[in-house]
Amino acid sequence: MHEMGIAQQIIDIAAASIPAEMTGARVERVNLKIGRLSAVVPESLRFCFGIVSQDTPLAGAELAIEETPILARCKDCDTRWTIDEPVFTCTSCGGGRLEILSGRELDIVSIEVAEREP
Amino acid sequence: MTQEIKVVRRVLAVNERMAEQNRRRFAEQGVFVLNVMSSPGSGKTTTLQKTIERLMPATRTAVIVGDVATTHDADRLAVTGAPVVQVNTDAFGGDCHLAAHVIEKAADDLDLDAVDLLIVENVGNLVCPAEFDIGEDARVVVLSVTEGEDKPVKYPTMFRLCDAALLNKIDLLPHLDYDKAKAIGYIRQVHPGMPIFELSARTGEGLGPWVDWLRARVEAKLNA
Ligand SMILES: Nc1nc2c(ncn2[C@@H]2O[C@H](COP(=O)(O)OP(=O)(O)OP(=O)(O)O)[C@@H](O)[C@H]2O)c(=O)[nH]1
Ligand SMILES: [Mg+2]
Ligand SMILES: [Zn+2]
What's the maximum distance between 2 C-alpha atoms anywhere in chain B? Answer: 69
Residue B50 in contact with ligand 1 by CB distance below 6 A? no
CA end-to-end span of chain B: 58
Q: Is the pLDDT of residue B72 over 90?
A: no
pLDDT recorded at residue A118: 56
Distance, CA of B73 to CA of B46 (rounded, Å): 9
pLDDT recorded at residue A4: 87
CA end-to-end span of chain A: 39
pLDDT in tens, B97-137: 889 999 999 999 999 999 999 999 999 899 889 989 999 99
Distance, CA of B207 to CA of A34 (rounded, Å): 38
pLDDT recorded at residue B95: 61
Domain A3-69+102-114 is in which class?
A: alpha beta
- Closest Cα of chain A to B99: distance in Å? 10
Residue B45 in contact with ligand 1 by CB distance below 6 A? yes
pTM over 0.80: yes
pLDDT in tens, A77-88: 999 999 999 999
Ligand 1 center to B199 CA (angstroms): 12
- Mean pLDDT, chain B, integer: 94
Distance, CA of B170 to CA of B176 (rounded, Å): 10
Domain B2-222 is in which class?
A: alpha beta
The domain ranges of chain A are: 3-69+102-114
* CB–CB contact B93 A4 (8 Å): yes
Ligand 1 center to B45 CA (angstroms): 7
- Closest Cα of chain B to A15: distance in Å? 11
* CB–CB contact A107 B4 (8 Å): no
pLDDT in tens, A30-76: 999 999 999 898 999 999 999 999 999 999 999 999 999 999 999 99
pLDDT recorded at residue A22: 84
* CB–CB contact A88 B192 (8 Å): yes
